[in-house]
Structure 1
Amino acid sequence: MQTNGQDTENGKGMPDINADENMSGATNLNDALADESELDKKQHELNEMKDKYLRLVAEFDNFKKRTAKERIELMQTASRELMVSLLDVLDDTDRATKQIESAADINAVKDGVALVFNKLKSTLQAKGLKPMESLHTEFNPDLHEAITEIPAPTDDLKGKVIDDMQKGYYLNDKLIRFAKVIVGK
């Protein structure tokens, strides 16, 4: 039994702080502790989320820096493989130049230059370079750059490429240089 907020059942005469929740100005201590515990819990969760966010931002920043560095290194060394393969052609050109100076037979010189040129073409083709075939094809502004137009020698060559001034090239089936052409009109 309770009288004026005191516990008379245990006979100690001690006030029961949880005895009357409806008394003016009285608060339940357990509720206050629960609210404070809940607030501490939410603050702890917030701090954890802030820490995760900061770590994620730092990790993303490091990722961006690392990929930018890798991209720069890749661009600097992208042509390395091609250059190494062209060194053989360069060596052959040096040897051909020495032979030209001392050669008496012009046909041997022609054959040597043709061999070096064919080696260069085959090396570039092995790396994915392919010349564009545009002679006697329809003029296509997506592939060709018209230098001039001349009267077509025959009616079937009107609107077609009559001559290549500079060949166009593909690298792995992607256009890397337009063909400079003369078009028949």
Structure 2
Amino acid sequence: MKFGKKKEKMSEKEELKNQNEQLEPESDKTHDQKNENTGNDDAKAEQQCPDAVVETMESLQLKVNEWQDKYTRLFADFENYKKRMRQERFDLLQSAGSELMLDVLPVIDDFERGLASLDTATDIDAVKQGYELIYNKLLNILKQKGLEPMESANAAFDTDFHEAITMVDNPDMKGKVVDVIEKGYNLRGKVLRYAKVVVGK
């Protein structure tokens, strides 16, 4: 009887062992399937990742091309602007010169009439007054254009306006303009020509 019970216990153990052996392969299969699924997901992610990178690179390249196009157009517009400004400045200078010439022509006419009358003129004072009128007329025209003569005689010597030609001994006029050799002129507040002067020392 005791041997019979031992056999029954042994058979029960063997059955449990067999059942466990049957269950283990199934769990291994499930684990393998999970690994396969995970591998497939990784492969899909790897396939999707390059596509996303390519799309990003293409988008960035489009933006780069767009900015390059904008820069090229802006540079071309700026070059055209500089050319236009140079041309406008050139035209302005030419037109300004033309206007000045038109204003000076009447003065030339006066000089020509004065020269023509010299052969028959008998009154020297009248001729002198005529030329003074012509001179003042020309000076007024130039003043309207912004030209102003410098008043340098007896003024303190100033290198911003004067150019010393020579110096002479004159204690009373030390550091001052003794004589003006060539008058200086300002044009719209800026020195157009320095006055050439003699300075006392």
Q: Provide the TM-score with structure 1 as the length reference.
A: 0.77
What amino acid is the match of 2:84? R
**Closer, same or farther in 2 for the Cα pair 1:37/1:118, shift >3 Å?**
same
Q: Is the 8 A contact 1:21 1:27 kept in 2?
A: no
* Distance in 2 between residues matched to 1:126 and 1:68, nearest whole Å: 26
Which structure has the bigger radius of gyration? 2
So what's the TM-score if we normalise by structure 2? 0.72
Hey, what does 1:144 align to over in structure 2?
162
Structure number with higher helix proportion: 2
- 1:168 maps to 2:184: yes
SS for the counterpart of 1:111 is helix
The residue number in structure 2 matching 1:93 is 111
Measure how far apart 1:4 and its partner are.
5.4
Q: Distance in 2 between matches of 1:131 and 1:68?
A: 31
Q: CA deviation at 1:138?
A: 1.4
Counterpart position of 2:5: none
What letter matches 1:49 in structure 2? W
2: distance between equivalents of 1:20 and 1:87?
101
After superposition, give the CA deviation of every residue in 1:99-151 in whole Å (9 maximum; x if it has no partner): 22222222221121111111111111222111111111111222211122222
Counterparts of 1:143 and 1:172, CA distance in 2:
14
1:32 is displaced (CA, Å) by 4.8
Structure 2 alignment gaps of length 5 or more: 1-31
Q: Distance in 2 between matches of 1:179 and 1:148?
A: 13
Structure 1 regions of 5+ residues with no counterpart?
A: 6-18
| Cα distance, 1:32–1:178 mapped onto 2, change above 3 Å | closer
1:180 is aligned to 2:196: yes
| CA-based RMSD | 2.5
C-alpha separation in 2, matches of 1:25 and 1:173: 81
**Counterpart amino acid of residue 97 in structure 2:** S
* Distance across 1 between alignment mates of 2:156 and 2:37: 100
Deviation (angstroms), 1:159? 1.9
SS at match of 2:44: coil
The secondary structure found in structure 2 opposite 1:79 is helix
SS state at 1:145 partner = strand
Q: Secondary structure at the match of 2:118?
A: helix
**Quick one: distance in 2 between partners of 1:108 and 1:45?**
83
Whether the 8 Å contact between 1:20 and 1:26 is mirrored in structure 2 is no
Q: Deviations over 1:11-35 (max 9, x none)?
A: xxxxxxxx94544861235555444
